Every structure is written in C-alpha cells, then in structure tokens.
Structure 1
Amino acid sequence: MSTSRPRALVTGSASGIGRASALRFAEAGYDVTINYGKSRERGEATLAELEAFGGQHAAVQADVSDDAAVAELVRVAAGPEGRLDILVNNAGTTMETKPEDLDGIDLDEWDRVFAVNVRGLVQVTRAAAPFLRASGGSVVNIASIVGLRPGPQPLAYAASKAAVVSLTKTLSRVLAPEVRVNAVAPGWIAGEWMERTLGDGYDKLMERRAKLTPMRRNVELDDVAASVFTLATSHPFVTGEILVIDGGYTATS
C-alpha cells in the first residue's frame, strides 16, 4: 500500500487566493504544486514558504491557456506515482476597462480573459481528470460574487466568472461519481486586487462594505483559503455547489 502524501495542484498560486490556498494544503500535509504565469519571483517565494512545512512541493511556470503547457503542469503535479487528490482552479486575469465602458472594450483583451479564466479551467480539469478519478479526488474552482450578481468588475471578468459558475455545475455531472466539483465565490477581498479595482475610492468603499456586512468586516484571503480547503477535503456528498464567501453581505443586502 502506498504511503505517499496526498497531492494538490493550485493554479495561479504565486500570490493572492492561490498562494493562501496552497499554504493551507501544505500545512495540512499535502505535497503541493503551484503554478504561475509571469511572476517567477513571487512563485519562488511562495515555494519557499511551502517548503517550510516539509514535504515535496513544486513551482511550475505555465500558461493555463496553452494545452501543452497544461499537460506538463499536471504531469509534475501528479508526481512519479501519478497521484492527484485535489485541483484548485484559481488562475485568472482581468482587463482594465470600466464596467460601464462598453465601447472601450478591447476584444483581444476580452479573448485573453476568457482564454485564461474559462478555457484554462477546462484544459487543466481535463488533463487532471484521469488522476482525480483514480484517487476519488475533488475540484474547487474560484468563481466570484460578480459571476452571480453585478459588481464593479470589468465585463469580461464578470462574464468569465459566470462561466466558471456554469462549468462547475456541468463538470460536477461530467466527473461524477468519482470526483466532486464545487466552487467558491468570494465577495470583496481586502487587498491589492480590490485596490486596483476601486482605485482612489478603495478605503471609503471597503469601509462602507464592511459596515453593511453582517460579520462587520470584509473578506480576507485566509477566509477564502479555509473555505477552499474544507470544500475540497470534507463534505463528501456535496458537489455542483457555489459557496459564497462574503460574510452575509449578498444574503442580506
């Protein structure tokens, strides 16, 4: 009987939700493969943090919209034993065009957002599926609250996250019964992503959001990572679900 540690692949994990989730799995005893596109320095820094927990971890530079690169990424993640227990599809990108600026949309940028956020998710899941089926594994996709309701994000990003919501439900049927597929939909996460989105209004708008949230604060990266981990490793009869992580804001506003 194999005594190898469980293995997890977290895409787009040099920083943000991906990094926080990768660290959570490493802390729990998983060998984690992280993935980054251009942020080599951040990727190597996150890898060093993972290694502090012990185990055998890897960092792979790969564009998730490139199918050949994805195949190599999954090969590394599965390791010599061909084992993969958890896949977290977190890799994502956005564009800078304001949501109300319909005429300002650059269609090449639109296509790039969908190539990473939607096509990338499908390609990584497809490549990982044989290993996940063999292990009875689990997939957690990172959606967003703007995939469920309007928000201050660019149209391409919001539409791509709505596609992630739809794919989560569809893939939960396609990969059943061996593999569970769920998603988390975070609200406004305190930190650099929302700083870029809200610009000069960040502090004021985040403060207002916190006051309107039943939990009286905004979402933090560790909140999301905790939910990703629990959804991936527990709840054996839950699949096809979208877990909103926003402290009750959506439910009560």
Structure 2
Amino acid sequence: MNPSPVVLVTGGARRIGQAIVRHLHAAGCTTAIHYRHSADEADALARELNGTRAGSAATFAAALENDEALSALVSGVLNTFGRLDGLVNNASSFYPTPVGTATAAQWDDLFATNARAPFFLAQAAAPALKASRGAIVNIVDIYAERPLAQHPIYSMAKAALGMLTQALARDLAPEVRVNAVAPGAILWPESGKPEEAADALILKTPLARKGDPADVAEAVRWLLLDARYTTGQIIRVDGGRILGI
C-alpha cells in the first residue's frame, strides 16, 4: 500500500487554511499544519484529525519572515513524517497601504509573507518534493492581476507570487508541478467589511454570491492530487468576478 501523501499547509490553523487542511485530510492526506500565533486552533485541529485517523496530522510553528525558520519548518515535517508530497503556500498578510502613507516596514512585511517565504519554502522543500514527484500550490489573489484600491503593496506581492508560480513550474519540472489558486470573495477580512461595500462587491460577481472556503480547498486538492498534466497555471475561484472587477 502506498503511504498517505504528506502535505504542508502554511497558515493551516484558521480560515481558508483550515478548510484546505480538512479537505486534504478527508481526501486521505497526512497534514502538516503550520501556524505562527494560532497554537490553540492548530492543536485542536490536529487532535480532531488524529482522532479520526491516528498519526495523520501534526502542528509546526514558524515565523515565515525568518529565513532559518523556513528550512527548519521543512526539516521538521520530514523528521516527523519521513516524506513530503505537497506544499500549500497559503499564509498571507493583508492590509491597506495607501500611497502617501505606506512604509518600508509594511513593504517588507507584505512581501515577506506573500512572496519571499513561498520562494524559500519551495526551495527548501524542492529536494523532498522531487523525490516524491510532488506538487506545490500557491494561494494568490485575483488582485494580483488587477490591483485592489489602497492596497498597492499587497497587490504587488501577490503578483510576485503569481510569477513565482510560473517560474517554479519551469525550474522544478519535470518532477514537481507548481500551480496556484486565485480566490475572489470567499471570506471578508477579519477587520470586517462595511455592508455597503460587501454588497457592491457581490454585484460585480457574475455568480452573485460569496464563495465558500471549500471551493478553494477543492481546487487545491485537485491541483495537488489529480492534475497530473497541469503546471504553471493559476486557477481563479472567484465566481467570475475577474470579468467585472
């Protein structure tokens, strides 16, 4: 019997990351749940998943802006599970940086989580992923193509992640496939979104509703496990919003 595929999901304790972890686990994967501040949520999720299948989940803490922590994170997963079949770069920082008030520290923070960490994690994971003929899925954003007002640095960082997806797909081929998912309106930011602004956003979405984290999770699962002849692609999960953004 083939061993269960091992997948590392960054930011896997909460929100869309948690949905990805649950969906991959339900599909038979062993899940390495990365977190930074959400220890309680990560531990509770791992206990729940291990309760349904023993030894099928573990948690790993790391600050993604720390280069040494990235290689240590990959080593920790390999030491725990003995292999790595998939990497999902989901962890992200998101907040406005209006022109005129943006700072260099904000630039460094947004690029660190949204572009720098995914590259160095992929670099650290590449030998193990090549050995398993595995895959990487990056979580980008539809705003990587058309910028979100008042969020220029975030939009640029996600655009960099989109280019990284294509570059890694070329450079890690043929052993490793690399793709991305670009969500639209799935979850509102935790800081909240004014009801009027949320309604206006939905009006721009042809399917006329928010998506569900499970929609993103299913796209990730397909790209990791089933899309055997797909690499270098960015799959939009946005209800068609890119058409009217």
Deviation at 1:252, TM superposition (A): 5.0
Q: Distance in 2 between matches of 1:80 and 1:50?
A: 16
Residue 99 of structure 2 contacts residue 150 of structure 2 at CA under 8 Å; is this kept in 1?
no
Letter of the 1:66 counterpart: N
Residue 82 of structure 1 contacts residue 131 of structure 1 at CA under 8 Å; is this kept in 2?
no
1:23-62 correspondence to structure 2 within 5 Å: 23-56=22-55, 57-62=57-62
Residue 168 of structure 2 corresponds to residue 157 of structure 1: no
Cα 1:204–1:66 shift into 2, 3 Å: same
TM-score, length of structure 2 as denominator length: 0.92
Q: Distance in 2 between matches of 1:44 and 1:127?
A: 25
Letter of the 1:78 counterpart: L
Cα 1:252–1:154 shift into 2, 3 Å: closer
Residue 174 of structure 2 corresponds to residue 174 of structure 1: no
Deviation at 1:126, TM superposition (A): 0.7
Question: Which stretch of the first structure deviates more once superposed, 71-80 or 13-22?
Answer: 71-80
Q: Distance in 1 between matches of 2:209 and 2:60?
A: 35
Residue 87 of structure 1 corresponds to which residue in structure 2? 87
Q: Distance in 2 between matches of 1:65 and 1:123?
A: 10
Residue 96 of structure 1 contacts residue 154 of structure 1 at CA under 8 Å; is this kept in 2?
yes
Residue 26 of structure 1 contacts residue 53 of structure 1 at CA under 8 Å; is this kept in 2?
no
Residue 180 of structure 2 corresponds to which residue in structure 1? 183
Q: Distance in 2 between matches of 1:53 and 1:162?
A: 38
Deviations 1:62-118 (A, max 9, x none): 012222212221122224563111110111113343xxx211102112111111211
| Structure 1: gaps of 5 or more residues | none
Question: Which stretch of the first structure deviates more once superposed, 116-125 or 79-88?
Answer: 79-88
Q: Distance in 2 between matches of 1:153 and 1:124?
A: 29
Residue 83 of structure 1 contacts residue 131 of structure 1 at CA under 8 Å; is this kept in 2?
yes
Secondary structure of residue in 2 paired with 1:243 = strand
Deviation at 1:3, TM superposition (A): 4.4
Deviation at 1:206, TM superposition (A): 2.4
Residue 117 of structure 2 corresponds to residue 125 of structure 1: no
Deviations 1:162-200 (A, max 9, x none): 000000000000100000000011112234x2x53x63x
Q: Distance in 1 between matches of 2:168 and 2:208?
A: 35
Residue 211 of structure 2 corresponds to residue 214 of structure 1: no
| Structure 2: gaps of 5 or more residues | none
TM-score, length of structure 1 as denominator length: 0.89
Q: Distance in 1 between matches of 2:38 and 2:169?
A: 31
